[in-house]
Structure 1
Amino acid sequence: MSVHGGALARRRFLQFVGASPLWAAPAMADGAAAPSITSAAQALNVFELQEVAARNIPPAHYGYLMTGVHDDRTVAANAAGYSRWGLRARRLVDVSRIDIGVTLFGQTFASPVALCPLSAQRAFHPDGELASARAAKARGALQMLSTVSSTSIEEVTKARGAPVWFQVYPTSDIEVAKALVRRADAAGAGAIVLTLDLLGGGMRRETMQRLARLDDRPCEACHGTPAERATQNLRRPNYQGIDTSRVRTISAPAFTWDYVSNLRAVTKSPLLVKGIMTGEDAKIALRRGADGIIVSNHGGRAEDSLIATVEALPEVVAAVGGKAPIIVDGGIRRGTDVFKAIALGADAVAIGRPYIWGLGAFGEEGVAAAMRLIDDELLEAMRQCGVTRLADLGKANIQHLV
């Protein structure tokens, strides 16, 4: 790409991003755009990290990060779902000491905010998952690692200095999934997270495809056919040493609930299923051996349901009945969102795009800033509502807004 062509593509990219409903750049009172921050420490919220990330990350990679399916309405629904709940403020409660720690499967974390398994993080910053791991270590946070990460689970675990949870795509060959689980167990993974929400096959991700048109670098992972992209995924470090010759796709439309039972038989680690959106499926997952549930629609990337994960959460909580931990992801941008999710019955939450905005903006410091900002906002919400422990949060602390 020529210098002139590259500058033109970048201008077109920023024009596209500015007109997108997924863009949330901060604005000043007179409607003018706020000036960009120059360090992670200056960020007032995760959206200021997003503004910098959008300028740093190549267009095709930013499109991959931000895309939903079709016109991105389920992405928007995830975030909008939290605006339908308000906080019930309480007075004259001693909130001088607040504990936001959480314990999951015997592992203690300093915050209920975990890092979602988001693939190929070197697409957003050269340090990729290692920067995320170092930031998670400093914050005492849970990190979930994608099967198709840029860096192996062994290296990420070393950087994190503690077990990470390993996310597994089923693949069209269950023996490959079993081999991935065994590798994760050998690396000391704290849990296995099986993604279920892509089993129906991929859907058209229009934002990703449009932004890829503005980025003419020779990259099959961005511009290739589905088969070429699948081949790229199978070259990722976590597949090294595993026979993938029979794998056609990392999703597996033909598999059923037997898949959960089969993986349950392979590992003694806690097994969570990620992608549950109904009470019926939550009950089946538990019967099939799942130890935990992640309420998720893949950040709006797996379905065009228009149903927010926070809207599905109460139904799943009722179905599980306290028998297993529940984590929810999708649309969490503020600490108040975390407060509402836990009040509705989640044991923890997970963020994806916000910490990658931090990664793309400022690397490790940006990831840490994203977590810090959301934690700080959670603490503020708890003080406002007179709650000093996450265990005390419940529906009495929130109010549905008509």
Structure 2
Amino acid sequence: MAFDFTWLLWALPLAFALGWLASRWDLRQWRLEGRQAPRAYFRGLNHLLNEQQDQAIDAFIEAVRHDPDAAELHFALGALFRRRGDYDRAVRVHEHLLARADLSPRDRERAQHALAHDFLKAGLLDRAEAAFQALLGTRYDTEARLALLGIHERSRDWARAAQMAEALEGSDRGSFRLRLAHHRCEQAAALQRHGHTSEALALLEALVTRIPESARAWVSLAELRQTLGNTAGALAALESLCTHCPEHVPLVAHGMAQWSRLLERVEPTRQRLRDWAQHHAPSLDVTQALASLETDPAQGRQQYLHHLRQEPSLVAATLWLAGVPLGAADEDPLVRRALERASEPLKRYRCAACGFESRQYFWHCPGCQGWDTYPPRRVEEL
């Protein structure tokens, strides 16, 4: 039986027509989806500019649904989730990006960086640490080290914090010497609490040799020496502080006065404090220390008058009035108590970064967690 080729004349045009219709249908679908995705994207951008985060998130989710391969949309969506405080969804977005095999190395590092910040914002320090560790050696290396330094400080892992500060010292983010000194002082304090006094002493003595500009190192060394009964060594440490960190003398003026009286070395300390007062702005703490070194109370009160001539001060006036013998009027104690109460807030220290005030001087602000943000002067003197 002969094969009939006539049906091919009908099949070929029919197949061509069907293929053409299918391609047109796919093209229409592609164009439709392409129009929907940009429209959703621009709608989300409009909501974002108008600070309407919830509506922006909905629009970006719709855009991602139409174009699941768009990495930029995922990054925008993850950033919105994090800003909104929805850290769980932000983590899922960035983990989804990292799971993609077709992601470029640059976008992979970017997704890892975003994921690390998601964990950090959520307070998951262990997972944030692991995520930032993965960024070491990348273009986010310095930023990752800074974040790891903050994590180690928050977890009070001072040894690892010191190592990270050492690694950052050569970076372009400034000097980390004083921050390193704080870490070593914290380590020394921990050693002292656990009874390892000799190791703490050796650590602090090496620290002041390496970083003499650290006021805290000298103060910690002086306090430890005094604890061990070495008052002369403690006073010598504070005298070295006067040389290397003169702006912090008000913090140690009382200690210098007290220890110099114990060692009967009042005159050298008095002269040192007077020399400091001649070259710096008036300080209530230095004035009070000088007054305490005077054997005659009347001479001590003259120190407060001298301070008042240089700078009006309610605290200095209250201290001067405290040394005046009570008069015949019954109101004298009432007036003095009122002045003392009014001057009490002026004796506090205030963080220059966040404004947190306290009666105690802090090297590490409890409010903003900043180092060396407290000026070594009272509120009234700022």
TM-score w.r.t. length of structure 2: 0.22
From the two aligned structures, give the one with the greater strand fraction: 1
Which gives a bigger RCO, structure 1 or 2 (Cα 8 Å, sep 6+)?
1
TM-score w.r.t. length of structure 1: 0.21
From the two aligned structures, give the one with the greater helix fraction: 2
Between Structure 1 and Structure 2, whose CA radius of gyration is higher? 2
